[in-house]
Amino acid sequence: MNEPILSIKNAVKRYGPVNALDGVNLDVAEGEFLTLLGPSGSGKTTLLSAIAGFIALDEGQLALRSADITGKPPEHRDFGMVFQGYALFPTMTVRENVGFPLKIRKRSASEIEKRVNEALEMVQMSAFADRMPSQLSGGQQQRIALARAMSFDPQILLLDEPLSALDKKLRADLQWELKDLHQKLGVTFIYVTHDQDEALSMSDRIVILKDGAIQQEGDPNTLYDQPRNRFVADFLGKSNFLEAAVVAGSGASFQCETKGAAFTLDTQTPCREGETITLALRPERLRLGLPGEEFVPGTVKQVSYLGERCQVLVTREGGDEFLVSRPTWKTDITPTPGLQVSIGWDADAPVVLAPA
Amino acid sequence: MHVSAFKIFFQTGAWLVIAFLVLPILVVLPISFTDTSYIGLPKEGLSLQHYANYFTDPDWLNATWTSVWVGLVVATCASVLGTAFAIGCWFLSDRAAMVARWILITPILVPPVVQSLGFYRFWVKLGLIDTHVGVILAHTLLALPYVSISVFAALSNLDRNLPRAARSLGASVMQTVWAVVVPAARPGIATGFIFAFIVSFDEIVGVLFITVRNVQTLPKMIWEGIQDNIDPTIAAVATLLIVLTLIATAIGVLRRT
Ligand SMILES: Nc1ncnc2c1ncn2[C@@H]1O[C@H](COP(=O)(O)OP(=O)(O)OP(=O)(O)O)[C@@H](O)[C@H]1O
Ligand SMILES: [Mg+2]
């Protein structure tokens, strides 16, 4: 990475016994779209608030382009922020809202006029310049909030679940627009969400948080294909978990066994003979076959159709359940509850998880 | 029928309650037009002499003027202090702010006589007895809770992220308060101002305790008027006040619809 635009060193924030941030280290690259992803209460808002300067860290440092900004008040940080509830100023028109940061910075009237028009154009809201925020729909308000946060060319744009109050269709539209804007403007985005689909579809890089600590960070592909631990594998997409014993093997190929079913495992993760490992298997990597065709026998418990894909829940003796996701067009087997089947996977499909 | 008896009972009751509320007010109306020189109903005809008296008697006019300007000063002081207090509490919104809010509304909870006694003892020490400053101070204390309560109400639905948004956009704390919070509180401040004025304008218990000769307000003059002369001008003043109130209320209602 080149010099990071923002660098967070060992950030700690405590609320009584709760560690809202528990030693977070993070570098943000210039121009990237970084997403903070995590379940409710994982510390996403706390981290973003600390970056914005709304809360003081108990420990740790923040640096903007190597200059320490740990104690700098928010108004001097020059970061735009978009809030979940939009937070438009209710007594100002759309134009006044968007022009607010420029007016505070004492820019000339003509410059404010020009910049506001540009910003409104950018979010396709020029026609609404003289309305009050209360006369706008949620999606329109969110666009204005975005225009306001960008009208003064902030160093970084912080977004705290900006789309979570919108309905699904609108959310999808705005996701594209946000992504588009990010590409057009080249500003660094730090985006908070608890919606994994949103994170996967928009981000250059995702940081997964849990209990105030980073679980894993990386680009969407890496996180999805190589989750480091059970939490990540479960949180980002769906996973099946499987305990298996390493029977033989070395280097990058091992023979494994799970409750009588033997299979080959190709992995870069070092394993030792005799060790018990936990594997994560994506539902779409599982194959469904007739009894005997694959190596794990089981019974179909439930089937649900999701349009282009179909999810089959298979139980095997001993109680383990496997979720299999297969394209609906595959008609070699028509899974119905009670049907005897078998399950298999490619040798490189399982991911070895770090011990919890 | 059983049901209709029930209905008659309650309708009669309702009218009686209304009569009970309104009649004492209405009774001043005929008295104010009396042609007698004492308080009583008109004998031979209607007369405007007591209205004329009110508008020509310098004592009545001075007392009215005192009540008006004291009320305006009180409303201004209470609005500034009460708004500042409410906005401060809104920003903090923690335990201390809750406690402070409760303490501030005690003037509403404490009986006026007890409070006035307190003012009296204290104002004697401070040398504020029978001064306009003393009255203004006492009335401001009494009016403060009304302002802060109505400003609290105006702020209660305000998004807590607004100050954060303003600060992230470059505004200092003071700029945030001026540009974002005060405008949102404005309706509450206006209501509070009117309430504060009314509190001061018709306050009598405190005034009786802490003033002697020097300060004469309208309520005190009415009170003393009933005490030692039975001048019907009092009824004329009361009628004028009722009419003024009705006009103000009507304007308020019309503007809202
Ligand atoms: N002001 C506060 N006082 C006490 N505890 C707090 C405060 N703010 C946050 N916390 C606690 O810190 C932890 C992290 O909170 P945070 O708001 O950062 O979570 P989040 O990831 O944003 O969750 P969500 O997705 O629900 O918004 C939570 O356990 C929360 O209860
Ligand atoms: Mg949050």
Look at residue A331 in the predicted model and tell me its pLDDT.
Answer: 78
- % of residues, chain A, pLDDT over 70: 99
* Nearest CA distance, B256 vs chain A (angstrom): 19
Q: State how beta strands A188-193 and A156-160 pair.
A: parallel
**Most confident residue range from A226-240, B8-22, B65-79:** B65-79
Which tens digits make up the pLDDT trace of A157-179?
Answer: 999 999 888 888 888 888 988 99
Look at residue B126 in the predicted model and tell me its pLDDT.
Answer: 93
Which of A12, A14, A18, A211 is the best mutation target for the ligand 1 pocket, counting ligand atoms within 8 Å of the beta carbon and taking the most?
A18
Closest ligand relative to A20 C-alpha: 1
User: How does residue B1 score in pLDDT terms, banded at 50, 70 and 90?
Assistant: low
Question: What are the domain boundaries of chain A?
Answer: 6-235, 240-352
User: How does residue A216 score in pLDDT terms, banded at 50, 70 and 90?
Assistant: very high
Which of B161, B170, B180 shows the shortest C-beta gap to A83? Answer: B161
Q: A6-235 and A240-352 share one CATH topology?
A: no
Which tens digits make up the pLDDT trace of B39-56?
Answer: 888 888 888 988 998 999
Residue B181: DSSP 8-state: I
Return all residues near B184 (Cβ < 8 A) that are at least 6 apart: A90, A91, B154, B155, B158, B162
Task: Using the predicted structure, report yes or no on whether residue A9 has a pLDDT greater than 90.
Answer: yes
**Most confident residue range from A268-282, B41-55, B65-79, B209-223:** B65-79
pTM value is 0.82
**A46 within ligand 1 shell (Cβ under 6 A):** yes
Look at residue A293 in the predicted model and tell me its pLDDT.
Answer: 86
Pairwise CB contact (< 8 Å): B169 & A52:
no
Read off the tokens for B22.
């309104």
Look at residue A271 in the predicted model and tell me its pLDDT.
Answer: 83
Q: Which residues of chain B does A190 touch, with a Cβ-Cβ cutoff of 8 Å? A: none
Residue B167's closest chain A neighbor by CA? A75
User: How does residue B3 score in pLDDT terms, banded at 50, 70 and 90?
Assistant: low
**Section A150-157 average pLDDT:** 93
Architecture of domain B58-256: Orthogonal Bundle (1.10)
**Section A231-255 average pLDDT:** 88
* Burial label, A144 (beta-carbon count in 10 A; 0-12, 13-18, 19+): buried
> Please, what is the Cα angle at B198 between B193 and B203, to 5 degrees?
130
Look at residue B98 in the predicted model and tell me its pLDDT.
Answer: 85
- % of residues, chain B, pLDDT over 70: 98
User: How does residue A188 score in pLDDT terms, banded at 50, 70 and 90?
Assistant: very high
Look at residue B2 in the predicted model and tell me its pLDDT.
Answer: 62
Which tens digits make up the pLDDT trace of A93-146?
Answer: 999 999 999 999 999 999 999 999 999 998 889 999 999 999 999 889 999 999
**Section B78-104 average pLDDT:** 90
Closest-lying ligand 1 atom to the alpha carbon of residue A42: 21
CATH superfamily of A6-235: P-loop containing nucleotide triphosphate hydrolases (3.40.50.300)
Which of A75, A89, A158 shows the shortest C-beta gap to B170? Answer: A75
Task: Using the predicted structure, report yes or no on whether residue B102 has a pLDDT greater than 90.
Answer: no
Residue A53's closest chain B neighbor by CA? B168
**A54 within ligand 1 shell (Cβ under 6 A):** no
Whole-number average pLDDT of chain B: 90
Single-letter amino acid code for the residue at B8: I
**Section B10-17 average pLDDT:** 90
Whole-number average pLDDT of chain A: 91
Task: Using the predicted structure, report yes or no on whether residue A356 has a pLDDT greater than 80.
Answer: no
- A310 forms beta bridges with A305, A326
In the CATH hierarchy, which top-level class contains the domain A240-352?
mainly beta
Look at residue B129 in the predicted model and tell me its pLDDT.
Answer: 93
Look at residue A1 in the predicted model and tell me its pLDDT.
Answer: 54
Residues A116 and A101: beta-carbon distance below 8 Å: no
**Section A279-283 average pLDDT:** 93
Q: What angle, 0 to 180 degrees and rounded to 10, lies between the N-to-C axes of helices B112-126 and B132-155?
A: 130
Pairwise CB contact (< 8 Å): A54 & B158:
no
**A20 within ligand 1 shell (Cβ under 6 A):** yes
Which of A87, A90, A104 shows the shortest C-beta gap to B175? Answer: A104
Closest ligand relative to A16 C-alpha: 1
**Section B129-148 average pLDDT:** 95
Return all residues near A8 (Cβ < 8 A) that are at least 6 apart: A24, A25, A26, A27, A28, A47, A50, A51, A60, A61, A62
- % of residues, chain A, pLDDT over 90: 64
Pairwise CB contact (< 8 Å): A75 & B183:
no
Single-letter amino acid code for the residue at A241: F
Please name the residue whose Cα sits nearest to atom 31 of ligand 1. Answer: A41
**Most confident residue range from A290-294, B60-64, B225-229:** B60-64
User: How does residue A354 score in pLDDT terms, banded at 50, 70 and 90?
Assistant: confident
**Residue A42 CA to ligand 1 centre (angstroms):** 7
Residue B169's closest chain A neighbor by CA? A101
